[in-house]
A and B are shown apart, each in its own frame.
Chain A
Amino acid sequence: MKKDVITGIIILVLAILLLGFTFVVNVTNAFSFLDKPILGEGLGPLCSSLPDCQNFCLNSKGICNSYCRANPSNRICDNIK
């Protein structure tokens, strides 16, 4: 019983620490360095802008579809159908 209480307290402390970490990361934008464009405004390593991607995907539709399946939130994908 005592062991359960101690384990319960440890779990609660860990939960509070995790949520506290999320709070700090969100308030301070601690991970904003990850939000810099890596390869331009396009489809990852395939192309770097909307016109460039439209041109590229015209001839390489399979590769583009494959990239878009793996990165569904990339809005360029909506414009290259």
Chain B
Amino acid sequence: MRQNFNLDKFLILTGILTFPLFVILFWIVFPSIYPGYDIITTGISYLGGYESPIRTLVNVWGFGLWGVLTMMFGYGIFRSKLLSVFGKIAGIFLIIGGFMIYLVSLFQGPSKEGIYTLAGQLHNFFSNYPPIPISIAIFLFLFEFAINKKFRWLILPIIIFGPISLYLNYQRAFLSGEIPYFGILQRAALTLPFLLIMLIAILLYKSKKKEV
């Protein structure tokens, strides 16, 4: 058992898991066990908010685990021998993004609508800004893949999904006023970057396998 353990592969695997974890839990499982929750109109923050009956479950196994897995993947990228300095810097940004997602599990959404609280402000900050370090990381991967022949085909999905994801994240985080389909918009905005992360992780995992 000890002989077969490969830390790099283990850390890269966590990157593959972030996408299905988010999709299965935040699109399907959590909304279906929260009585009266409307996935179309309601953001994911309310699943782990103060008034949620499934708050602890969502914050530990949802936001907490999602953030921890992202940080682990970031560390895996950082220490990967397959990647150049661009990849390593991307790894640092992924760790920062993952840590911010983790902090959402500690600072839940505002409990009383419209009331100005420090917890609400912290929640807004940590939930609105993770896409920035994660986007920088994905942008850096473009340079990495431009010089790294093995991964060059990944440039195309990044060019296609990257701008869409940025636009959706801007809409979800910084657009004020009521958005009738906010729940779907927010989930789509968060799904796309993690789809890219999963693709990157799968390719790195496969390369690692060949190497071993």
Contact = CB atoms under 8 A, between A and B. Distances in A.
Interface of A: 1, 4-5, 7-8, 11, 15, 18-19, 21-23, 25-27, 31, 34-44, 50, 65, 68-78, 81
Given A8-B5, A72-B174, 15 more contacts: A11-B11, A11-B75, A22-B59, A25-B105, A25-B106, A34-B119, A34-B122, A35-B118, A38-B116, A41-B115, A68-B177, A69-B174, A73-B45, A73-B123, A75-B114
B160 interface: no
Interface in B12-69: 43, 45, 50, 55-56, 59-60, 63-65, 68
Nearest to B56: A26
A42 B177 contact: no
Binding site secondary structure of chain A: helix
Nearest to B107: A31
Interface of B: 2-3, 5-8, 10-11, 43, 45, 50, 55-56, 59-60, 63-65, 68, 72, 75, 102, 105-124, 128, 173-178
B176 A8 contact: no
A66 B1 CA distance: 57
B55 A26 contact: yes
Nearest to B50: A35
Given A73-B45, A78-B178, A18 B7 contact: no
A31 B122 CA distance: 11
A34 B119 CA distance: 5
A13 B211 CA distance: 28
> What 9 A-B pairs have minimum CB-CB distances, sorted nearest first?
A68-B176, A34-B119, A4-B7, A75-B113, A22-B64, A76-B114, A26-B56, A35-B119, A22-B105
A68 B3 CA distance: 55
A69 B5 contact: no
Contact of A22 (B3, B72, B106, B121): B106
Could you say which of A22, A65, A70, A72 has the most chain B C-beta atoms within 10 Å of its C-beta?
Answer: A22
A37 B55 contact: no
B117 A38 contact: yes
Contacts of B45: 73
B114 A15 contact: no
Contacts of A77: 176-177
